[in-house]
Amino acid sequence: MWTGFYAGLNLGGGANTSTSVSTIGYSAFDWAAGVYNLPFGWTSGYRSGVANVGQTGVVGGGQFGYNFQVNPNVVLGVETDIQGSGISGNGASYGLAGGSGNTLDPHENFLHLQSGAVNVSSGLGWIGTVRGRVGFLANPSLLLYATGGFAYGNTYASVLTTGYHWHPGHETAHPDNPVVPTWTSFDAISVGWTVGGGAEWMFWQNCSAKVEALYYNFGSQSVRGQFSPVINPAAPNSIAIINGATTNFNYQGIIARLGVNYHFNFGEAL
């Protein structure tokens, strides 16, 4: 009854299951550390933190597959699908770093603070799978199945960092230092795996409806942010510090969807 090719459409939604996006700051150049006897990289923590990025959105597309009914109760098959995705989200982390100058000149022993924000966004532009299916017929018209296999899709992200460097109580003699903002992004095709299950109901001759949930995992992507100089206007306009950062994105989530299929050569073997 179920043997044959089929094709159909699906519509649903998805959400990520790994929402933590971590950023680790580091220093590439630190002239100010030597001047004020502070540790190299003493301001880099302003770009470090963990953002909470919950991705949600609509997915929709089509599928094509083949079923082979082994016996009255078991159906084996293979299915491929591809759908556009609006799964995306954004968030931010905030950092504060600094130190007190430790020099022989008491006029240079003042507090330096550097704060910053790392604004991140990420998502899936589209997602496809190639999966095997193993099903059990609860009755001749209702198929319960497990499925799993290969997944691929478009992963993307962007990172915007901003910063502010100031000297509490010494604003006149030591004005604020501009911190250059940075922006970086990536857009890639990622591969991974998927597993899930569902139920399909043959509600009319050659026509079925299904409900399905899939877990997908594309692993992680690292984005090396642009270097962010701290400008010293009094020197004149020289670079005092250069900080960088690496942001790590995870791409795992769940898709739940409804679908309809039309079955060709219904009930016939190849």
Pure H helices in the chain? 31-35
CB 141 within 8 A of CB 226: no
Cis peptide before 236 (omega within 30 of 0): yes
Q: Which of the pair, 250 or 205, is modelled with greater confidence?
A: 250
Mean pLDDT value across residues 93-115:
81
Find all residues with CB under 8 Å of 99, minimum gap 6, and list them: 36, 38, 39, 42, 43, 111, 112
Which burial class, exposed, middle or buried, applies to 72 when counting CB atoms under 10 A from its CB (0-12, 13-18, 19+)? exposed
Least confident piece of the model among 6-10, 98-102, 149-153:
98-102
CB 5 within 8 A of CB 266: no
> What per-residue confidence (pLDDT) applies to 178?
87
> What per-residue confidence (pLDDT) applies to 5?
95
Place of tokens 């006897």: 37
pLDDT tens digits along 230-262: 987 776 678 889 999 999 999 999 999 999 999
Output the pTM of the full model: 0.88
| Domain extents in the chain | 4-263
Provide, rounded to the nearest whole percent, the portion of the chain with pLDDT above 70. 94
Provide, rounded to the nearest whole percent, the portion of the chain with pLDDT above 90. 77
CB 198 within 8 A of CB 8: no
The overall average pLDDT reported for the chain is 92
pLDDT tens digits along 161-189: 999 988 888 777 677 888 999 999 999 99
CB 228 within 8 A of CB 181: yes
DSSP string over 127-195: EEEEEEEEEEEEETTEEEEEEEEEEEEEEEEEEEEEEEEE-TT-TTTSPPBPB--EEEEEEEEEEEEEE
